[in-house]
Amino acid sequence: MITAEQTIDEQERFRAGDTRILARYLTRVENHAAGMEEVLADLYRHTGQAWRVGFTGPPGAGKSTLVNQATLRYRRSELSVGVVAFDPTSPFTGGALLGDRIRMEKLTLDPGVFIRSMATRGQLGGLAVAVDEACDLMDAFGKDRVLIETVGVGQSELEVAHSADTTVVVLVPQSGDSIQAMKAGLMEIADIFVLNKSDRDGADRAYRELTSIVQMKHSPEGWMPPVLKTTAEKGEGVDELLETIQTHRRHLTETGLLETRRKSRIASKVQRLVEDAIRKDLWRSDRDTRRRDDLDHTRSPYDLAKDLVNDFYREISDERR
């Protein structure tokens, strides 16, 4: 049980830059711990300062290396960095898969960098929420840049765009990669394309292929996603990437699109919060049991659903009477 005083004390330490409290809050967000909504509500007014950059793309594209290199360079410019990595829970490890993170260990000794792998148990979608809240925490903590990295599979790939101000889609020169990215919906969310491992054979051809696909894209926001070449392992092209992120930031800020994008992000968050609260009321009591048990092949799930909705509405009105 957390008392109100503890909460206030924790929040003061958080605001004063105590990373232990940041870590504690991140764990609570990951576990969907009770009481965190109030903390997030209180900290909300301190958010909005950090620039959030999402890195997404297929597995093996080198996203971790790129995030690592970007972090090193931001630190040289004395910008503080938070890194949030999506990691689906695996039954093998019982938590986040830390393999890719090991390479970043050196960075974790730097107090200006905070790295966190996020994993959630339970339903799809829960992870995206946790990542979004983790970004808010890093932001309220005072990080200048928050880098979000997906594992490159599952819905995380597309959802990262909801949390990011700038979305970087990382591809490699591999036959058909651009086509697959197009299929996956990555074209729609990309603000910047990176062709990583561009010292490989076929990089020029892949670059031309990708560029021609990108040029077909409509750019209603007046921003045509640039295609950059990097070789993250050698640090090549990373400076140009960071400059392009900065250019994108200026574009969003000057056109007022930033405000629109953030507003729409918050509107989605409100929607999610409302629906979560209602869902909690909805599936308490015996309705959840009925949903699971009142099933047979004569009665359709559509009819059962109708009953349950009516039952819920009746309960709500009875409670208010």
Q: How many CB atoms lie within 10 A of CB 321?
A: 5
User: Among 200, 207, 198, which residue's Cα sits nearest to residue 230?
Assistant: 198
Determine the Cα–Cα distance for residues 200 and 207; give it in Å rounded to an integer: 11
Determine the Cα–Cα distance for residues 169 and 189; give it in Å rounded to an integer: 8
Q: Which is nearer to a copy of itself, 84 or 242 (CB)?
A: 84
CB of 88 to a copy of itself, least distance (A): 5
Amino acid symbol at 103: R
Q: Which is nearer to a copy of itself, 34 or 153 (CB)?
A: 153
Angle between helices 156-163 and 126-141 (to 10 degrees): 30
CA angle 79, 58, 69 (to 5 degrees): 25
CB of 56 to a copy of itself, least distance (A): 11
CB of 274 to a copy of itself, least distance (A): 5
Q: Which is nearer to a copy of itself, 73 or 223 (CB)?
A: 223
CB of 38 to a copy of itself, least distance (A): 8
Determine the Cα–Cα distance for residues 57 and 157; give it in Å rounded to an integer: 7
Q: Which is nearer to a copy of itself, 7 or 247 (CB)?
A: 7
Q: How far is CA 276 from the centre of its chain?
A: 19
Q: Which is nearer to a copy of itself, 17 or 301 (CB)?
A: 301
CB of 209 to a copy of itself, least distance (A): 14
Cα distances from 304 to residues 53, 310, 317, in angstroms, run 44, 10, 20
CB of 208 to a copy of itself, least distance (A): 18
CB of 86 to a copy of itself, least distance (A): 10
Sheet holding 166-171, edge to edge: 113-118, 81-86, 145-149, 51-56, 166-171, 192-195, 227-229
Say if residues 169 and 193 touch (Cβ distance below 8 Å): yes
Q: How many CB atoms lie within 10 A of CB 9?
A: 12
Say if residues 116 and 148 touch (Cβ distance below 8 Å): no
Q: Which is nearer to a copy of itself, 23 or 316 (CB)?
A: 316
CB of 108 to a copy of itself, least distance (A): 21
Q: Which is nearer to a copy of itself, 19 or 49 (CB)?
A: 49
User: Among 130, 50, 127, which residue's Cα sits nearest to residue 82?
Assistant: 50
Q: Which is nearer to a copy of itself, 79 or 213 (CB)?
A: 213
Say if residues 38 and 44 touch (Cβ distance below 8 Å): no
| Strand ranges, E, within 181-265 | 192-195, 227-229
Q: Which is nearer to a copy of itself, 76 or 297 (CB)?
A: 297
